[in-house]
Structure 1
Amino acid sequence: MQPFVEDLAGQIRQAAWPLDGPGGNYHPLLDSLVDKQFILLGEASHGTHEFYQARIEISKRLILDRQINAIAIEGDWPSAARVNRFIRWQGHDSNANDALSDFRRFPLWMWRNTPMLGFIQWLREYNRGLPEKQQVGFYGLDMYSLYESVAAVLEYLDKVDPDAATLARERYGCLNHTGSERRYGYGVTLGQRPSCEDEVVQQLLNIRDRALCYAKPDDQRSQDEQFEAEQNARLVKSAEQYYRQMFNPRISTWNLRDSHMFETLQELHRYLSGRLSQPARIVIWAHNSHLGDARATEMGKRGEHNLGQLVRQSAGQRSHLIGLTTHQGTVTAASEWDGPGERKRVRPSLKGSIENLFHQTGLDCFYLPMTGPVAEVLGEPRLQRAIGVLYLPESERASHYFHCELPDQFDALLHFDQTQAIEPLDPESEWVSGEQDTYPSGL
């Protein structure tokens, strides 16, 4: 069996493009993206420096070639909206750190980290002096921000329609008896409080019906603000459903979440395309588990879908799904939910896994398109590692590995054999002291 593995590693090495030289040799990848409207850039963890840096470098190259109109992330809509205003020279923030400060939910390091700080400032400088329609935007696809989005809708209506704001406060008041999204869902499940489904749906319909009244046809900023408010109202509807169904074992809240992200992406693409009078092109940043086609993984076999699958089913050849992997190094992650960010050592990938197979190529980092003979030989199910906001090395196999058929999951892979933990903007003692005796020279 071992000679076969070595031969397979050799075939991968022959098909791979080493990412060497200043900024990485991304030209073959960029050439494959020329006609794509949805470019999905994944990550095997939420806390790896090289993953963020690669996505930043690829996104910059696409922006500089005037091929990309927006970055959409696995982050909440209202938090990303503050960044969007900053990079488009709107709002009141004077620096990138302040612009990122609405990302207050666990895990803070996911978007409040040092590579993001530089990238947000770069986007602002790029947009300087450009007409609003040509500026690159920054948007969130996720839906955890129930109460933040409620506040954003009310703030908007207070400005454009005070009477409608009063009615919206009455409707959204249904949600405010607990002060916690999870407590709201738990109370509905136990029958201790009524559902607010009708109220949040009605509010979304009302703000949609009034869109032409609120958005001035000759004022781009007015149209942008109305679109932003409508997406916040839709987020409230989705989040209410998500938290209400959270304790129902018959409902897949994963499917609810990824469906919302897909619908938000669709709405964003429709809106930007209308603004540009041509199809918009969007780069999406999220975890591999959201962006790789779920039908090629254990997720699909248990009835779960994800953003990557829905985009591929909808856009077909106009989409490109790119996964990012690593063999070993360090990662920023927590040991428990809502726990502090720690700099933790990532164990070498398991034998038989995709990452271990890539490690056997002897290449430090490379781009591998899932085409030709190499896609055929990688077609059988193999283990793949996924580290989210938690990393539990003591239960590595059970907690972080699943089976997938790689060529059906992604259109291409970027592999970084040795990786380092992302540096948070808000370092905690656990991160600063973590792996201090060997970091980074001991990788």
Structure 2
Amino acid sequence: MLVQRLGAPSDFDPLLERVRDARIVMIGEATHGNYDYYRLREQLTRRLIAECGFSFVAVEGDWPDCDRVHRSVIAAPGGAVDPRTALERFERWPTWMWANAEVSRFCAWLRAWNVERPEDARAGFHGLDVYSLWESMQAIFDYLGEEDPTSLEAAQDAYRCFEPYGKRVEEYGMASRFVSARCEEEVVRLLARTREQAAADGPDSFSAWQNAEVVAGAERYYRAMVHGGPESWNIRDTHMTDTLDRLLERYGPGARGIVWAHNTHIGDARATEMAADGMVNIGQLARERHGADEVVLVGFGGYRGTVTAAPRWGSPAEAMVVPPARPGSVEHRLHELMPERAVLVFGGDDQPDWVTGTADHRAIGVVYDPSFESWGNYVPTRLGERYDAFVWCDETTALHPLPALTTPGEMETYPAGV
């Protein structure tokens, strides 16, 4: 194991040496609301793009919202000149995950980087998640209306199937338990027609295809969610992994991707109790599909500080105090052993017991109650198996949300919020 104190972006050199030949680098976060995690992730990502030639960043966010950001950062015709304008259009709660000053700064840098390069060499920004059923449906209408009006019937049939449930599509999942409310056949037909039309080259065609995949994934997700258990989680993370693979194929031979998501998604589930509960995640699936040598998983963690989160689902975000990590946890041990900022690169035969053994590892979602620290918010983890590297921040501060018009959104990751 190698430990490097962090003070400047150049201090990530040992980690860049580790990812030199990887096709996928997943960079996590222990919360969705810390400035320090986002800032350090930004520094690492800039170097991966500028020095290692990575092709795109794919985040734990909705495809339509992120597609507006993508069009801005690649300077596409009709895209916003300032990426912040696109980020401020995020409406689905919790908006602060991506509509924040830290992501805005990165996207401004990415646009400046891209405009100096040929169009086919520009790095993109994409959403991996499954939630945007209505937004994706509208995007398909817009696309088919211009490109293939004869396929509009399939889109209208799918829309009419969901329409009785309004924007609360989790009610569709609940109804499917008792009556024949499954829209699966209509969605499959829509997906087939959109795939057929999107077979032609072009970014608009690919985006329409992905929106159809979102609609199909959302139908499965909300139908599974009401039954409880791991199935809806697995549908979501499999969808995100499938989207990542489609992006790698879309960018062509030699494409390399960066993923931004919560530790709970990017850290290999097999190194946690998630596996015993029948859960998978994108870190595990990517290792299985591409091979461990092609995938580098980078976790994050901190000892104490502040975080942007909400006290309950759908409520306004606020800066909350994160108390010191509980004794025996990964974070408590690193607080005792590490400098204030450090990157740990795992590997070799000299790894200490706290890297190879099991210890509690803190995970904070968008809904957070610090009083739960005594019994919740921790995932038993074998750190050196869950991640290839780990970025340590002893004390963290809350990130800075952008002004946004927030709508409640569906239940989504309720109640975990990761």
Give the structure-2-normalised TM-score: 0.92
Q: Does 1:426 align with 2:403?
A: yes
Partner-residue secondary structure (3-state), 1:343: strand
Q: Does 1:76 align with 2:62?
A: yes
Corresponding residue of 1:379: 356
For 1:364 and 1:36, how far apart are their aligned partners in 2? Answer: 28
For 1:153 and 1:74, how far apart are their aligned partners in 2? Answer: 21
Partner-residue secondary structure (3-state), 2:337: coil
- Which of 331, 334, 339 matches 2:310? 334
Q: Does 1:188 align with 2:167?
A: no
Deviation at 1:66, TM superposition (A): 4.8
Deviation at 1:304, TM superposition (A): 0.5
Q: Does 1:322 align with 2:298?
A: yes
Q: Does 1:389 align with 2:366?
A: yes
What is the percentage of aligned positions where both structures have the same residue? 37
Partner-residue secondary structure (3-state), 1:340: coil
For 1:50 and 1:290, how far apart are their aligned partners in 2? Answer: 19
- The CA RMSD over aligned residues, in Å, is 1.7
Q: Which amino acid aligns with 2:204?
A: E
Corresponding residue of 1:288: 263
For 2:284 and 2:37, how far apart are their aligned partners in 1? Answer: 21
Deviation at 1:427, TM superposition (A): 8.3
Corresponding residue of 1:436: none
Deviation at 1:24, TM superposition (A): 5.5
Q: How many pairs were matched up?
A: 401
Q: Does 1:237 align with 2:216?
A: yes
Q: Once superposed, which parts of structure 1, at least 4 consecutive aligned residues long, lie more than 4 Å away?
A: none
Corresponding residue of 2:383: 406
- Which of 240, 246, 263 matches 2:225? 246
Q: Indicate how the Cα distance of structure 1 residues 250 and 325 shifts in structure 2: closer, same or farther if over 3 A, else same.
A: closer
Q: Is the 8 A contact 2:230 2:279 kept in 1?
A: no
- Which of 37, 60, 70 matches 1:51? 37
Q: Does 1:60 align with 2:46?
A: yes
Q: Is the 8 A contact 1:332 1:344 kept in 2?
A: yes
Unaligned runs of 5+ in 1: 1-11, 217-222, 429-443
For 1:201 and 1:415, how far apart are their aligned partners in 2? Answer: 44
For 2:38 and 2:230, how far apart are their aligned partners in 1? Answer: 33
Deviates more, 1:286-295 or 1:238-247: 238-247
Deviation at 1:402, TM superposition (A): 1.8
For 2:184 and 2:57, how far apart are their aligned partners in 1? Answer: 31
1:82-136 per-position Cα deviation (integer Å, ceiling 9, x unaligned) = 1001111122423222111342111111101111111111111111142221010
For 2:110 and 2:152, how far apart are their aligned partners in 1? Answer: 34
Q: Is the 8 A contact 2:238 2:282 kept in 1?
A: yes
1:226-265 per-position Cα deviation (integer Å, ceiling 9, x unaligned) = 1110011011001011111211135621111101101111
Unaligned runs of 5+ in 2: 406-418
Partner-residue secondary structure (3-state), 2:306: strand
Corresponding residue of 1:154: 141
Deviates more, 1:79-88 or 1:24-33: 24-33
Give the structure-1-normalised TM-score: 0.87
Corresponding residue of 1:439: none
Partner-residue secondary structure (3-state), 2:71: helix
Corresponding residue of 1:431: none
For 2:68 and 2:45, how far apart are their aligned partners in 1? Answer: 20
Structure whose CA Rg is larger:
1
For 2:184 and 2:229, how far apart are their aligned partners in 1? Answer: 18
Q: Indicate how the Cα distance of structure 1 residues 38 and 190 shifts in structure 2: closer, same or farther if over 3 A, else same.
A: same
Partner-residue secondary structure (3-state), 1:417: strand
Corresponding residue of 2:195: 208
For 1:374 and 1:172, how far apart are their aligned partners in 2? Answer: 57
Deviation at 1:183, TM superposition (A): 1.8
Q: Is the 8 A contact 2:184 2:219 kept in 1?
A: yes
